[in-house]
Structure 1
Amino acid sequence: MTTAGTPTFDDRAVVLDGTLVVADLHVGRGTGGSLELPVGSNTELVERFTSLVDRHDPERVVVAGDLLHSFQTVPRPVDDTVAGFERACREAGARLVVVPGNHDTMLDAVWDGPTEAAARIGDTVVCHGHEEPPEQGDRYVIGHDHPTIEIEGQRRPCYLVGADQYRGSEVLMVPSFNALNAGVVVNEMRAGDFQSPLVTDTDELEPIVWDEQGRETLSFPPLGEFRRML
Protein backbone atom coordinates (compact mmCIF):
# COMPACT_ATOMS: atom_id res chain seq x y z
CA MET A 1 0.00 0.00 0.00
CA THR A 2 1.01 3.61 -0.54
CA THR A 3 0.53 6.45 1.89
CA ALA A 4 -2.23 8.87 0.94
CA GLY A 5 -0.95 12.11 -0.55
CA THR A 6 -1.09 15.72 0.53
CA PRO A 7 -4.26 16.52 2.49
CA THR A 8 -6.69 19.20 1.37
CA PHE A 9 -8.27 21.14 4.25
CA ASP A 10 -11.76 22.60 3.99
CA ASP A 11 -14.40 23.58 6.57
CA ARG A 12 -13.23 21.36 9.45
CA ALA A 13 -12.82 18.41 7.09
CA VAL A 14 -9.91 16.88 5.20
CA VAL A 15 -9.71 15.23 1.79
CA LEU A 16 -7.14 12.53 1.03
CA ASP A 17 -6.95 10.68 -2.29
CA GLY A 18 -10.68 10.86 -3.05
CA THR A 19 -11.84 10.29 0.54
CA LEU A 20 -13.51 13.07 2.51
CA VAL A 21 -13.09 12.75 6.28
CA VAL A 22 -15.18 14.53 8.92
CA ALA A 23 -15.22 13.84 12.65
CA ASP A 24 -17.19 14.68 15.78
CA LEU A 25 -20.46 15.75 14.17
CA HIS A 26 -22.20 15.16 17.52
CA VAL A 27 -25.61 15.24 15.88
CA GLY A 28 -28.22 15.86 18.58
CA ARG A 29 -26.11 18.18 20.65
CA GLY A 30 -28.17 21.09 21.96
CA THR A 31 -27.74 23.94 24.38
CA GLY A 32 -28.56 24.23 28.06
CA GLY A 33 -28.44 20.46 28.55
CA SER A 34 -31.26 19.82 26.07
CA LEU A 35 -30.82 17.00 23.60
CA GLU A 36 -32.97 18.75 21.01
CA LEU A 37 -31.17 20.49 18.21
CA PRO A 38 -31.42 24.27 18.31
CA VAL A 39 -33.40 25.80 15.45
CA GLY A 40 -31.29 25.80 12.29
CA SER A 41 -28.56 23.43 13.47
CA ASN A 42 -29.94 20.47 11.53
CA THR A 43 -30.04 22.52 8.35
CA GLU A 44 -26.61 24.04 8.93
CA LEU A 45 -24.89 20.68 9.45
CA VAL A 46 -26.49 19.12 6.38
CA GLU A 47 -25.84 22.17 4.20
CA ARG A 48 -22.15 22.32 5.12
CA PHE A 49 -21.76 18.57 4.67
CA THR A 50 -23.50 18.71 1.27
CA SER A 51 -21.35 21.65 0.17
CA LEU A 52 -18.19 19.70 1.00
CA VAL A 53 -19.37 16.70 -1.00
CA ASP A 54 -20.33 18.92 -3.94
CA ARG A 55 -16.98 20.76 -3.93
CA HIS A 56 -14.73 17.72 -3.66
CA ASP A 57 -16.79 14.99 -5.39
CA PRO A 58 -15.27 12.23 -3.22
CA GLU A 59 -15.55 8.52 -3.94
CA ARG A 60 -16.01 7.89 -0.22
CA VAL A 61 -16.95 9.90 2.86
CA VAL A 62 -15.72 8.67 6.26
CA VAL A 63 -17.19 9.88 9.54
CA ALA A 64 -14.28 9.42 11.93
CA GLY A 65 -16.29 8.88 15.08
CA ASP A 66 -18.95 10.56 17.20
CA LEU A 67 -21.59 10.89 14.54
CA LEU A 68 -24.02 11.10 17.48
CA HIS A 69 -23.87 13.06 20.70
CA SER A 70 -26.23 11.39 23.17
CA PHE A 71 -25.35 8.07 24.77
CA GLN A 72 -28.99 7.26 25.65
CA THR A 73 -31.58 8.82 23.32
CA VAL A 74 -31.97 9.74 19.66
CA PRO A 75 -34.24 12.79 19.16
CA ARG A 76 -36.20 12.97 15.89
CA PRO A 77 -33.98 15.71 14.35
CA VAL A 78 -31.07 13.28 14.50
CA ASP A 79 -32.78 10.94 12.02
CA ASP A 80 -33.42 13.84 9.68
CA THR A 81 -29.80 15.01 9.85
CA VAL A 82 -28.31 11.58 9.22
CA ALA A 83 -30.75 11.11 6.33
CA GLY A 84 -29.47 14.40 4.93
CA PHE A 85 -25.89 13.13 5.03
CA GLU A 86 -26.95 9.92 3.32
CA ARG A 87 -28.84 11.83 0.65
CA ALA A 88 -25.86 14.09 -0.10
CA CYS A 89 -23.57 11.09 -0.57
CA ARG A 90 -26.11 9.12 -2.59
CA GLU A 91 -26.70 12.00 -5.01
CA ALA A 92 -22.94 12.46 -5.45
CA GLY A 93 -22.29 8.74 -5.91
CA ALA A 94 -20.10 8.62 -2.79
CA ARG A 95 -19.99 5.73 -0.32
CA LEU A 96 -20.66 6.83 3.27
CA VAL A 97 -18.82 4.91 5.99
CA VAL A 98 -19.00 5.43 9.75
CA VAL A 99 -16.10 4.65 12.07
CA PRO A 100 -17.78 4.55 15.51
CA GLY A 101 -16.51 6.80 18.29
CA ASN A 102 -17.02 6.68 22.02
CA HIS A 103 -20.31 8.61 21.76
CA ASP A 104 -21.83 6.28 19.16
CA THR A 105 -23.52 3.83 21.53
CA MET A 106 -26.90 4.45 19.82
CA LEU A 107 -25.55 4.29 16.27
CA ASP A 108 -27.69 1.29 15.28
CA ALA A 109 -30.83 3.36 15.90
CA VAL A 110 -30.06 5.73 13.02
CA TRP A 111 -27.49 4.02 10.82
CA ASP A 112 -27.70 0.68 9.00
CA GLY A 113 -24.95 1.40 6.51
CA PRO A 114 -21.32 0.25 6.56
CA THR A 115 -19.26 0.69 9.73
CA GLU A 116 -15.56 -0.02 10.11
CA ALA A 117 -13.33 -0.08 13.19
CA ALA A 118 -10.87 1.90 11.06
CA ALA A 119 -10.91 3.07 7.45
CA ARG A 120 -7.84 2.88 5.27
CA ILE A 121 -6.65 5.32 2.61
CA GLY A 122 -3.57 3.55 1.35
CA ASP A 123 -1.29 3.39 4.38
CA THR A 124 -3.28 6.10 6.20
CA VAL A 125 -5.58 4.84 8.97
CA VAL A 126 -8.71 6.83 9.84
CA CYS A 127 -10.06 6.20 13.35
CA HIS A 128 -11.73 8.23 16.07
CA GLY A 129 -8.65 8.46 18.26
CA HIS A 130 -10.18 7.77 21.67
CA GLU A 131 -8.27 4.50 21.97
CA GLU A 132 -5.36 2.68 20.42
CA PRO A 133 -6.03 2.16 16.68
CA PRO A 134 -6.87 -1.38 15.56
CA GLU A 135 -4.48 -1.17 12.59
CA GLN A 136 -1.01 0.18 11.90
CA GLY A 137 -0.35 2.93 9.38
CA ASP A 138 2.16 5.54 8.27
CA ARG A 139 -0.37 8.26 9.11
CA TYR A 140 -3.38 8.41 11.41
CA VAL A 141 -6.31 10.76 10.85
CA ILE A 142 -8.29 11.23 14.05
CA GLY A 143 -10.75 13.48 15.85
CA HIS A 144 -11.96 13.17 19.46
CA ASP A 145 -10.22 16.12 21.16
CA HIS A 146 -11.97 18.98 19.25
CA PRO A 147 -8.84 21.16 18.94
CA THR A 148 -9.04 24.95 18.81
CA ILE A 149 -6.32 27.57 19.01
CA GLU A 150 -6.53 30.97 20.66
CA ILE A 151 -5.01 33.86 18.71
CA GLU A 152 -5.27 37.44 19.98
CA GLY A 153 -8.13 36.45 22.25
CA GLN A 154 -10.13 34.68 19.54
CA ARG A 155 -10.67 30.92 19.45
CA ARG A 156 -10.53 29.20 16.08
CA PRO A 157 -11.06 25.50 15.33
CA CYS A 158 -7.82 24.03 14.05
CA TYR A 159 -6.23 20.93 12.63
CA LEU A 160 -3.11 19.58 14.32
CA VAL A 161 -0.43 17.82 12.28
CA GLY A 162 2.63 16.19 13.77
CA ALA A 163 5.24 13.70 12.57
CA ASP A 164 6.48 10.85 14.79
CA GLN A 165 3.49 11.15 17.11
CA TYR A 166 2.31 7.57 17.41
CA ARG A 167 4.74 4.68 16.95
CA GLY A 168 6.82 6.79 14.58
CA SER A 169 3.85 7.77 12.40
CA GLU A 170 2.26 11.10 11.60
CA VAL A 171 -0.99 12.10 13.29
CA LEU A 172 -3.48 14.51 11.74
CA MET A 173 -6.21 15.59 14.14
CA VAL A 174 -9.26 17.29 12.64
CA PRO A 175 -11.50 19.73 14.52
CA SER A 176 -15.09 18.96 15.44
CA PHE A 177 -17.39 19.41 12.45
CA ASN A 178 -20.16 20.61 14.77
CA ALA A 179 -19.76 24.33 15.48
CA LEU A 180 -21.71 23.90 18.74
CA ASN A 181 -18.64 22.18 20.20
CA ALA A 182 -16.53 24.93 21.74
CA GLY A 183 -13.48 22.70 21.59
CA VAL A 184 -10.39 22.69 23.79
CA VAL A 185 -7.72 25.38 23.50
CA VAL A 186 -4.49 23.61 22.63
CA ASN A 187 -2.06 26.54 23.06
CA GLU A 188 -0.71 25.36 26.42
CA MET A 189 -1.70 21.70 26.30
CA ARG A 190 0.83 18.93 26.83
CA ALA A 191 0.50 15.35 25.62
CA GLY A 192 -1.05 14.23 28.91
CA ASP A 193 -3.78 16.87 28.54
CA PHE A 194 -5.09 15.31 25.34
CA GLN A 195 -7.64 12.52 25.62
CA SER A 196 -6.27 10.72 22.57
CA PRO A 197 -3.41 8.28 23.25
CA LEU A 198 -2.09 8.99 19.74
CA VAL A 199 -0.75 12.43 20.78
CA THR A 200 2.71 12.01 22.30
CA ASP A 201 4.67 15.20 21.56
CA THR A 202 2.69 18.43 21.49
CA ASP A 203 5.78 20.57 20.85
CA GLU A 204 5.84 19.19 17.30
CA LEU A 205 2.13 19.59 16.55
CA GLU A 206 1.54 22.25 13.89
CA PRO A 207 -1.83 24.06 14.06
CA ILE A 208 -3.61 24.74 10.76
CA VAL A 209 -6.66 27.01 10.65
CA TRP A 210 -9.15 27.03 7.78
CA ASP A 211 -10.11 30.62 7.01
CA GLU A 212 -13.63 30.41 5.62
CA GLN A 213 -13.70 34.05 4.58
CA GLY A 214 -10.50 33.85 2.58
CA ARG A 215 -11.05 30.22 1.53
CA GLU A 216 -7.49 29.36 2.52
CA THR A 217 -5.47 27.59 5.18
CA LEU A 218 -3.41 29.52 7.72
CA SER A 219 -0.39 27.63 9.07
CA PHE A 220 1.27 28.34 12.40
CA PRO A 221 4.56 27.23 13.99
CA PRO A 222 4.58 24.00 16.03
CA LEU A 223 3.03 24.44 19.47
CA GLY A 224 6.43 24.30 21.19
CA GLU A 225 7.57 27.34 19.24
CA PHE A 226 4.14 28.96 19.27
CA ARG A 227 4.06 28.92 23.07
CA ARG A 228 7.36 30.82 23.21
CA MET A 229 5.99 33.49 20.89
CA LEU A 230 2.99 34.27 23.10
Structure 2
Amino acid sequence: MTPTYDDRAVLLGETLVVADLHLGRGTGGSLELPVGSSADVARRFEALVDRHRPSEVVVAGDLLHSFQTVPRTVEDAVAGLRAACADAGADLVVTPGNHDTMLGAVWDGPAPPSVRVGDTVVCHGHEVPDTEADRYVVGHDHPTITIEGQRRPCYLVGSDQLRGATVVMLPSFNTLNAGVEVNQMRATDFQSPLVTDADGLEPVVWDESGRETLRFPVLGEFREML
Protein backbone atom coordinates (compact mmCIF):
# COMPACT_ATOMS: atom_id res chain seq x y z
CA MET A 1 0.00 0.00 0.00
CA THR A 2 1.25 3.47 -0.87
CA PRO A 3 1.65 5.82 2.13
CA THR A 4 -0.37 9.04 2.18
CA TYR A 5 1.35 11.91 3.99
CA ASP A 6 -0.51 14.59 5.93
CA ASP A 7 0.57 16.96 8.73
CA ARG A 8 3.49 14.92 10.11
CA ALA A 9 1.39 11.74 9.99
CA VAL A 10 1.08 8.93 7.47
CA LEU A 11 -1.94 6.92 6.34
CA LEU A 12 -1.43 3.25 5.46
CA GLY A 13 -4.70 2.05 4.02
CA GLU A 14 -7.14 2.52 6.90
CA THR A 15 -4.43 2.92 9.54
CA LEU A 16 -3.29 6.39 10.57
CA VAL A 17 0.16 6.62 12.17
CA VAL A 18 1.59 9.48 14.22
CA ALA A 19 4.81 9.50 16.24
CA ASP A 20 6.47 11.46 19.01
CA LEU A 21 3.52 13.39 20.42
CA HIS A 22 5.57 14.11 23.57
CA LEU A 23 2.50 15.14 25.52
CA GLY A 24 3.52 17.28 28.49
CA ARG A 25 6.38 18.99 26.73
CA GLY A 26 6.15 22.69 27.48
CA THR A 27 4.88 22.18 30.99
CA GLY A 28 7.19 23.04 33.81
CA GLY A 29 7.54 23.96 37.42
CA SER A 30 5.36 22.86 40.31
CA LEU A 31 2.27 24.48 38.74
CA GLU A 32 2.62 22.46 35.52
CA LEU A 33 1.51 25.38 33.38
CA PRO A 34 0.94 24.38 29.73
CA VAL A 35 2.18 26.54 26.86
CA GLY A 36 -0.29 25.11 24.37
CA SER A 37 1.68 22.07 23.20
CA SER A 38 -0.81 19.39 24.23
CA ALA A 39 -3.74 21.47 23.01
CA ASP A 40 -2.11 21.89 19.58
CA VAL A 41 -1.34 18.17 19.36
CA ALA A 42 -4.91 17.24 20.31
CA ARG A 43 -6.43 19.73 17.85
CA ARG A 44 -4.34 18.54 14.90
CA PHE A 45 -4.81 14.89 15.85
CA GLU A 46 -8.59 15.34 15.91
CA ALA A 47 -8.47 17.07 12.51
CA LEU A 48 -6.49 14.21 10.99
CA VAL A 49 -8.85 11.57 12.34
CA ASP A 50 -11.87 13.53 11.17
CA ARG A 51 -10.36 14.06 7.72
CA HIS A 52 -9.28 10.47 7.04
CA ARG A 53 -11.75 8.47 9.17
CA PRO A 54 -9.31 5.59 9.75
CA SER A 55 -10.34 2.31 11.31
CA GLU A 56 -7.16 2.28 13.42
CA VAL A 57 -4.80 4.94 14.78
CA VAL A 58 -1.32 3.94 15.94
CA VAL A 59 0.93 6.17 18.02
CA ALA A 60 4.44 5.03 17.06
CA GLY A 61 6.04 5.76 20.39
CA ASP A 62 6.77 8.63 22.74
CA LEU A 63 3.19 9.51 23.51
CA LEU A 64 4.61 11.11 26.65
CA HIS A 65 7.53 13.47 27.14
CA SER A 66 8.59 13.18 30.78
CA PHE A 67 10.33 10.06 32.05
CA GLN A 68 9.33 10.63 35.69
CA THR A 69 6.12 12.64 35.99
CA VAL A 70 2.82 13.03 34.17
CA PRO A 71 1.47 16.61 34.28
CA ARG A 72 -2.26 16.95 34.91
CA THR A 73 -2.80 18.37 31.45
CA VAL A 74 -1.54 15.15 29.85
CA GLU A 75 -4.45 13.10 31.17
CA ASP A 76 -6.87 15.53 29.53
CA ALA A 77 -4.91 15.39 26.27
CA VAL A 78 -4.97 11.58 26.21
CA ALA A 79 -8.70 11.65 26.91
CA GLY A 80 -9.06 13.97 23.91
CA LEU A 81 -7.19 11.51 21.67
CA ARG A 82 -9.43 8.69 22.86
CA ALA A 83 -12.56 10.74 22.22
CA ALA A 84 -11.46 11.71 18.70
CA CYS A 85 -10.89 8.05 17.81
CA ALA A 86 -14.15 6.95 19.42
CA ASP A 87 -16.11 9.55 17.46
CA ALA A 88 -14.56 8.25 14.23
CA GLY A 89 -15.05 4.60 15.16
CA ALA A 90 -11.28 4.03 15.18
CA ASP A 91 -9.24 1.85 17.51
CA LEU A 92 -6.35 3.64 19.25
CA VAL A 93 -3.11 1.71 19.83
CA VAL A 94 0.11 2.94 21.42
CA THR A 95 3.46 1.28 20.70
CA PRO A 96 5.69 2.44 23.58
CA GLY A 97 8.78 4.53 22.91
CA ASN A 98 11.81 5.21 25.06
CA HIS A 99 10.06 8.19 26.72
CA ASP A 100 6.99 6.17 27.68
CA THR A 101 8.17 4.91 31.06
CA MET A 102 5.06 6.38 32.71
CA LEU A 103 2.63 5.20 30.02
CA GLY A 104 0.63 3.05 32.43
CA ALA A 105 -0.33 6.13 34.43
CA VAL A 106 -2.48 7.51 31.60
CA TRP A 107 -3.05 4.61 29.19
CA ASP A 108 -4.79 1.28 29.82
CA GLY A 109 -5.43 0.40 26.18
CA PRO A 110 -3.47 -1.76 23.74
CA ALA A 111 0.30 -1.16 23.97
CA PRO A 112 2.14 -3.80 21.91
CA PRO A 113 5.81 -3.26 20.98
CA SER A 114 4.81 -3.10 17.30
CA VAL A 115 1.74 -3.21 15.06
CA ARG A 116 1.58 -4.98 11.72
CA VAL A 117 -0.32 -3.30 8.87
CA GLY A 118 -0.14 -5.59 5.84
CA ASP A 119 3.54 -5.85 4.87
CA THR A 120 4.44 -2.97 7.19
CA VAL A 121 5.42 -2.99 10.87
CA VAL A 122 4.88 0.17 12.91
CA CYS A 123 7.06 0.74 15.97
CA HIS A 124 8.92 3.58 17.65
CA GLY A 125 12.29 2.74 16.12
CA HIS A 126 14.54 3.18 19.16
CA GLU A 127 15.55 -0.47 19.06
CA VAL A 128 15.64 -3.27 16.52
CA PRO A 129 12.13 -4.78 16.29
CA ASP A 130 11.66 -8.50 16.82
CA THR A 131 9.23 -8.67 13.90
CA GLU A 132 10.62 -8.75 10.35
CA ALA A 133 8.81 -6.81 7.64
CA ASP A 134 9.18 -5.44 4.13
CA ARG A 135 8.68 -1.94 5.50
CA TYR A 136 8.99 -0.27 8.90
CA VAL A 137 7.27 2.97 9.88
CA VAL A 138 9.01 4.63 12.81
CA GLY A 139 9.65 7.89 14.62
CA HIS A 140 12.29 8.57 17.29
CA ASP A 141 14.83 10.82 15.53
CA HIS A 142 12.51 13.81 14.79
CA PRO A 143 14.00 14.51 11.32
CA THR A 144 14.11 18.00 9.83
CA ILE A 145 15.83 19.33 6.73
CA THR A 146 17.16 22.78 5.89
CA ILE A 147 16.43 24.00 2.35
CA GLU A 148 17.49 27.48 1.24
CA GLY A 149 17.99 28.50 4.84
CA GLN A 150 14.58 27.29 6.00
CA ARG A 151 14.40 24.35 8.38
CA ARG A 152 11.35 22.17 8.04
CA PRO A 153 10.14 18.87 9.53
CA CYS A 154 10.39 16.03 7.05
CA TYR A 155 9.70 12.37 6.52
CA LEU A 156 12.60 10.18 5.47
CA VAL A 157 11.94 7.27 3.11
CA GLY A 158 14.62 4.79 2.21
CA SER A 159 14.81 1.29 0.78
CA ASP A 160 17.46 -1.30 1.64
CA GLN A 161 17.77 -0.24 5.26
CA LEU A 162 17.64 -2.64 8.23
CA ARG A 163 17.34 -6.25 6.97
CA GLY A 164 16.95 -4.87 3.45
CA ALA A 165 13.58 -3.35 4.35
CA THR A 166 12.19 0.06 3.49
CA VAL A 167 12.07 2.52 6.38
CA VAL A 168 9.67 5.44 6.63
CA MET A 169 10.66 7.79 9.46
CA LEU A 170 8.05 10.32 10.60
CA PRO A 171 8.79 13.79 11.92
CA SER A 172 7.74 14.59 15.47
CA PHE A 173 4.02 15.33 15.66
CA ASN A 174 4.70 17.82 18.45
CA THR A 175 5.68 21.15 16.89
CA LEU A 176 7.66 22.14 20.01
CA ASN A 177 10.32 19.56 19.15
CA ALA A 178 12.99 21.42 17.20
CA GLY A 179 14.04 18.17 15.56
CA VAL A 180 17.39 17.05 14.22
CA GLU A 181 18.75 18.46 10.97
CA VAL A 182 19.53 15.50 8.71
CA ASN A 183 21.27 17.30 5.82
CA GLN A 184 24.76 16.08 6.70
CA MET A 185 23.88 13.07 8.86
CA ARG A 186 25.34 9.62 8.25
CA ALA A 187 23.78 6.36 9.36
CA THR A 188 25.83 6.33 12.57
CA ASP A 189 24.46 9.77 13.47
CA PHE A 190 20.89 8.48 13.68
CA GLN A 191 19.64 7.21 17.02
CA SER A 192 17.40 4.64 15.33
CA PRO A 193 19.21 1.42 14.44
CA LEU A 194 16.76 0.91 11.58
CA VAL A 195 18.66 3.46 9.48
CA THR A 196 21.67 1.73 7.93
CA ASP A 197 22.16 3.83 4.79
CA ALA A 198 21.54 7.56 5.29
CA ASP A 199 22.61 8.35 1.72
CA GLY A 200 19.60 6.39 0.47
CA LEU A 201 17.03 8.33 2.49
CA GLU A 202 14.64 10.52 0.49
CA PRO A 203 13.37 13.64 2.34
CA VAL A 204 9.65 14.26 1.94
CA VAL A 205 8.24 17.58 3.18
CA TRP A 206 4.55 18.20 3.80
CA ASP A 207 3.56 21.65 2.55
CA GLU A 208 0.54 22.67 4.61
CA SER A 209 -0.21 25.78 2.54
CA GLY A 210 -0.53 23.79 -0.67
CA ARG A 211 -1.60 20.59 1.08
CA GLU A 212 0.89 18.58 -0.93
CA THR A 213 4.09 16.61 -0.47
CA LEU A 214 7.38 17.94 -1.78
CA ARG A 215 9.96 15.28 -2.62
CA PHE A 216 13.71 15.79 -2.85
CA PRO A 217 16.65 13.68 -4.03
CA VAL A 218 18.08 11.15 -1.59
CA LEU A 219 20.46 12.64 0.96
CA GLY A 220 23.54 11.23 -0.79
CA GLU A 221 22.68 13.34 -3.86
CA PHE A 222 20.97 16.22 -2.08
CA ARG A 223 24.09 17.11 -0.08
CA GLU A 224 25.90 17.93 -3.32
CA MET A 225 23.15 20.37 -4.28
CA LEU A 226 23.07 22.33 -1.02
The equivalent residue for 1:163 is 159
Is residue 2:15 matched to residue 1:19?
Answer: yes
Which residue in the other structure is 1:87 paired with?
A: 83
The aligned counterpart of 2:62 is 66
Shift of 1:53: 0.2
| Matches of 1:143 and 1:35, distance apart in 2 | 30
- The number of residues matched between the two structures is 226
Among 146, 149, 152, the alignment partner of 1:153 is: 149
Q: Structure 1 residue 33: deviation in Å?
A: 8.1
Residue by residue over 1:62-116, the C-alpha shift from the partner in whole angstroms, topping out at 9 and shown as x without a partner, is: 0000000000000100001000000000010000000000000000000001111
Superposed counterparts of 1:3-152, under 5 Å: 5-30=1-26, 36=32, 38-152=34-148
**Distance in 2 separating the partners of 1:151 and 1:7:** 23
Letter in 2 for 1:168: G
Deviations 1:132-179 (A, max 9, x none): 012000000000000000011111000000000111110000000000
In 2: Cα distance, 1:87 partner to 1:41 partner:
18
Contact 1:29 1:36 survives alignment (8 Å): no
Alpha-carbon distance, 1:17 to partner:
1.2
In structure 2, stretches of 5+ residues that fail to align are none
Q: Partner amino acid for 2:150?
A: Q
Q: Note the C-alpha offset of 1:35.
A: 9.2
Conservation of the 8 A alpha-carbon contact between 1:20 and 1:58: yes
- The alignment-based identity, stated in percent, is 74
Whole-Å separation in 2 of the counterparts to 1:32 and 1:8: 35
Query: Closer, same or farther in 2 for the Cα pair 1:125/1:227, shift >3 Å?
Result: same
Question: Is the Cα contact below 8 Å between 1:35 and 1:70 reproduced in 2?
Answer: no
Report whether the alignment pairs 1:200 with 2:196.
yes
* CA-atom RMSD in angstroms: 1.4
**Does the residue aligned with 2:161 lie in a helix, a strand or coil?**
strand
Q: Is 1:179 aligned to residue 175 of structure 2?
A: yes
Distance 1:160 1:34 in 2: 38
The answer for unaligned runs of 5 or more in structure 1 is none
Say which of 210, 222, 226 aligns to 1:226: 222
TM-score, with structure 2 as normaliser:
0.97
SS of match in other structure, 1:39: coil
Q: 1:181 to 1:109 in 2, by over 3 A?
A: same
Shift of 1:45: 1.1
Q: TM-score, normalised by structure 1?
A: 0.95
